Amino acid sequence: MGRSIPNRGLMLALGVALTALAAYADIPPPGTDECRGKQAGDACRLGGTPGVCADKTCGRLDYSRGVPPKSVSVPCLRCDTEGDRSLTTGAQAR
């Protein structure tokens, strides 16, 4: 294998990657809380659709005592999109 000292292009790529890191914060990863670090009423996006963070009750699995896990309900912030609000589906967020 030969060695190659990278040119300015590689520096540029790294710069773009660093910029990308700064930009990522607006786009939540799938399956994670889109309202992480936000408060009720703050704007959010869910799958590209704008929404508002709202207080909800989330169902989740509690493995703290091992398996089988217990199903528990906990208060949570969830990104409520336009479609969700029109459906008024009740309290269970997931």
Partner 1 sequence: MFLQAVSNRIEWALAPLDRLRAALYRWAAPVAAPLYADRPRRVRWLGAALVMLGWLLAATLPLWMLALAPVVLGVPHLLADLRYLVVRPGRHHQPWFWLSLPAWIGTSVGGGPVLGLAGLVPAVLAARGSLNRKLTLLGGWALLSALAWRDDLLFQLLFLHLHNLVAIAWWWVWRPCGLRDWIWPLLVAGGALALLCGAAQPLLDLTQGWTASWTGTDFGDQVAQLAPGVDPALAWRLVVVFGFLQSVHYGVWLRLIPEEDRPRPAPRPFRASWQALLADFGPGPLLAVAGLAGFILAWAVIDLPGARLGYLWLAAGHGYLELAVAAHLLADEPRPLAVRDRPAPAGPATGA
| Residue 87 near partner 1 by CB under 8 A | no
**Backbone angles phi and psi of 20, in degrees to 5:** -60, -40
Residues of this chain, 19-38, that bind partner 1 according to CB under 8 A = 20-21, 23-27, 29-32, 36-37
Window contacting partner 1 (CB under 8 A); options: 16-24, 49-57, 75-83, 85-93: 16-24
Q: How far apart are CA 33 and CA 7, in angstroms?
A: 40
Three-state secondary-structure class, residue 80? strand
Q: How far apart are CA 50 and CA 85, in angstroms?
A: 12
- Per DSSP bridges, beta strands 49-62 and 43-46 are antiparallel
Window contacting partner 1 (CB under 8 A); options: 49-57, 58-66, 75-83, 84-92: 58-66
CB of 89 to partner 1, least distance (A): 18
Which of 50, 62, 91, 92 is close enough to bind partner 1 by CB under 8 A? Answer: 62
